[in-house]
Amino acid sequence: MSRIIRNLGNWRLGRTNLENHVIDELLSGRLDRRSFLRHGSRVGLSLAVMAAALKTVGLDPITSARAQSGKPGGTMRIALIAPSGTIDPVTVADQYGLLVLQQVGDFLVMDGPDLVLQPMLATEWSPNEDGTVWTFKLRDDVKFHDGRAMTADDVVASIDRLADPENGSNALSAFKGVLSKGGTKKVDDHTVAFHLDAPNGNFPYYLSSDNYNAIILPADYSGGFEAQMNATGPFKLERYTPKVGATFVKNPDYWGGAPLLDRVEMSFYADQQPQVLALLGGQVDVVQQVTVQGSQSLFDNPAVKILELRSNAHRQIHMKTQSGPFADKRVRQAMALTLDRPRLIQGLFRGMADIGNDSPFAPVFPSTDPTVEQRAKNIKKAKQLMAEAGTTGFDTTFTTMSIQELPALASLIKNAAAEIGINVTLKIEDPGAYYGDAVPGKSDWLDSEFGMTDYGHRGIPNVFLTAPLKSDGTWNSANFQNAEYDQLVTDYVAALDLDAQKDAAGKIQRLLLDETPIIFPYFYNWLTATAPNVAGVQPTAMGQLFLQTATVG
């Protein structure tokens, strides 16, 4: 033990109090390897320091994801759904546009498939004592595709652009209350300080690949990105045709080393089934995302590789809390008790999902409190709660979208509700009709008394905790108003220490179980399909495909 303490002392030199606390938690055994990597990367411990610390205490060090076997050169063909709008880093709002962007652009930080933050355009980052200012050091060897060097001016302009409400950025939903226009400050040519609206212990994730829009662009960017897609990424645009596809060639001057592939071809499709057929027929090498419902022919097929990642992507089943039949929380609790969650996961996902417990805290989040009791199906208790609420049942409409497994889940919810006297009429719409204008009064999503929405994966639960659940949340479809909850979320977001985050998380989890404004039935895994001769593709549950070390053939 004395040797361990002595060796760890070497890694404390130059470390902040917060970083040293993380090392203490590793030494004490309160952090396992996975939690240490996630928490350490968040507060700014470098990969080298974390690897050495793990080795010192006898745990497996970090292994490189770049070592690959495969033949350099060639073209990788990728199938994906057509992006829904213009490819612009400021406004892009879907995972398909993100996949296009991500080939030509970089983020300050990469959030890997294991939720461990890794340097990209930033080499290191650290907070001040209260988490109101985060300072990022930048690489000094990065060039845009047009040959210009990337500096702090480009980073300041890029993030300020996203934080400016006048630009209509999709990132505003994440930056609201976190970072305002003018809060991003140049320190020197390769250092940027972010002055936040309030303390935030998870801020590096807001500048990572978790944030669709946080691609770093030239300071003078003014639109028209589709024409050249000038950024800093491993591939350069060769051709882009909306609704058809895109082709890219490798960037020989990429700061991370030239990709092994010569070219990448993306083909856009209207839905999943033709992508599956193209993969089986040898017309494409990779399908960005497959689902159990739309890809049965791929599973157990030796000619296909399925890359599976645990995620926190989920469905939210909201119930209006301020009016109507769900205003009494006992009715909401009763509805939640009708669902057989393990059976849902097996039937809808072949078991490839984690059980939800009616809060955004998925098992993959290190701050989730695992001691909170898991809610399970209990019809007897559900009927008792209905009786206590003074009802034997009622009629309601359940509104959702016709995507992936949502219609099937809606039917199962209808059947489950009938067991306690709730008669459900299903209203299943296309996504455009469901979302409407995405503002109250003009959106079936936000206006329905009982409905379901899809939420994609994030590296941290902050957006899930705020937008759909805080009293002033922009996506508060349940119209949930709870001052105690709002304060707990503020405490959670501000916490720099993992113990403090877990403490706040446990309180939030228990409060939401009691109030049940939203049912979180499961968190489903991300699935990417490839041909057997594909190697080195690094998917994330956000929808990215990192291809710098990928090979085909």
Long-range pairs of 183-190 with CB within 8 A, sequence gap ≥ 24: 184/155, 184/156, 184/159, 184/160, 185/156, 186/152, 186/153, 186/156, 187/135, 187/152, 188/152, 189/140, 189/151, 189/152, 189/153, 190/137, 190/138, 190/139, 190/140, 190/151, 190/152
pLDDT exceeds cutoff 80 at 20:
no
pLDDT exceeds cutoff 70 at 12:
no
Q: How confident is the model at residue 83 (pLDDT cuts 50, 70, 90)?
A: very high
Domain hosting 543: range is 234-304+531-552
Residues 179-197 have a mean pLDDT of 98
- Residue 69 is assigned to a structural domain of this protein: no
pLDDT exceeds cutoff 70 at 25:
no
Q: Which of 201, 227, 253 is the last residue of a domain?
A: 227
- Residue 75 is assigned to a structural domain of this protein: no
Tokens 């296909």 locate to: 304
Indicate if 299 and 315 belong to the same structural domain.
no
- Residue 63 is assigned to a structural domain of this protein: no
Q: How confident is the model at residue 38 (pLDDT cuts 50, 70, 90)?
A: low
Q: How confident is the model at residue 296 (pLDDT cuts 50, 70, 90)?
A: confident
Indicate if 184 and 284 belong to the same structural domain.
no
Question: What is the pLDDT, as a whole number, of residue 63?
Answer: 52
CA angle, 373 as apex, 368 and 376 as ends, to 5°? 115
Q: Where are the beta strands (DSSP E) in 160-262?
A: 184-188, 191-195, 235-241, 245-250
Residues 169-177 have a mean pLDDT of 88
Structurally, the chain folds into a number of domains equal to 4
Indicate if 476 and 451 belong to the same structural domain.
yes
Q: Which of 198, 227, 256 is the last residue of a domain?
A: 227
Indicate if 457 and 508 belong to the same structural domain.
yes
Question: Closest Cα partner for 360 from 411, 314, 425?
Answer: 314
Long-range pairs of 301-305 with CB within 8 A, sequence gap ≥ 24: 302/532, 303/531, 303/532, 304/279, 304/280, 304/529, 304/530, 304/531, 304/532, 305/529, 305/530, 305/531, 305/532, 305/534
- Residue 61 is assigned to a structural domain of this protein: no
Q: What is the mean pLDDT of the chain?
A: 91
- Residue 217 is assigned to a structural domain of this protein: yes
Indicate if 324 and 430 belong to the same structural domain.
yes
CATH number at residue 286: 3.40.190.10
User: Which amino acid does the sequence have at 51?
Assistant: A
CATH number at residue 144: 3.90.76.10
Indicate if 347 and 475 belong to the same structural domain.
yes
Indicate if 387 and 459 belong to the same structural domain.
yes
Indicate if 211 and 250 belong to the same structural domain.
no
> What is the rounded CA–CA span in Å between residue 387 and residue 382?
9
**How, if at all, do strands 394-401 and 422-429 pair?**
parallel
Indicate if 345 and 382 belong to the same structural domain.
yes
CA angle, 173 as apex, 100 and 514 as ends, to 5°? 120
Indicate if 163 and 180 belong to the same structural domain.
yes
CATH number at residue 456: 3.10.105.10
Specify the pTM.
Answer: 0.86
Indicate if 167 and 265 belong to the same structural domain.
no
Q: How confident is the model at residue 47 (pLDDT cuts 50, 70, 90)?
A: low
- Residue 466 is assigned to a structural domain of this protein: yes
Indicate if 194 and 220 belong to the same structural domain.
yes
- Residue 289 is assigned to a structural domain of this protein: yes
- Residue 402 is assigned to a structural domain of this protein: yes
